[in-house]
Amino acid sequence: MYSRTTSCPFVTLAKRVLDDYSLPYREIYIDKDERARQQVIQWTGFQAVPTIILAWTGERLPISEPSYLEPKRSPRGIDRGHMITEPNIEELTAWLAKHGFIADPS
């Protein structure tokens, strides 16, 4: 999960959901890692956190390239395959279920 060290309600929500389901995650802080900050901007067009990816253990890139996002379009809550950015609870749980991490919430 690409995150930041300062408080963010979307990051807090994502951590709570992941913790509630006992799902492990690693945080990469875009305010401490310039390469990470540039990567998130490339993917989303913004310094948007959390940007949650599915990656192979120890990797920093998603398993596959995220689906296309129109320039200047908000990435908020959009399922981009192995990536989702700034999801709400419903969007994140649906994304986790789609990838087999939790039971389908519906």
Beta bridge partners of 83: 53
The pLDDT of residue 27: 97
Query: Phi then psi for 92, rounded to 5 degrees?
Result: -70, -45
Q: Write out pLDDT tens, residues 30-58.
A: 999 999 999 999 999 999 999 999 999 99
Q: Is residue 106 part of a domain?
A: no
The pLDDT of residue 106: 66
Q: Is residue 57 part of a domain?
A: yes
Tokens of 43: 């993917």
Model pTM score: 0.94
Residue 89 CB contacts under 8 Å (≥ 6 apart), including other chains? 13, 17
CB-side neighbour CA atoms (13 Å) of 84? 20
Q: Is residue 48 part of a domain?
A: yes
Cβ proximity of 25 and 51 under 8 Å: no
The pLDDT of residue 95: 97
Mean pLDDT, 10 residues at a time, the chain of 106 residues = 96 98 97 98 97 96 96 96 98 97 84
- Number of domains the chain is built from: 1
Taking the CA atoms of the chain, what radius of gyration do you get in angstroms?
13
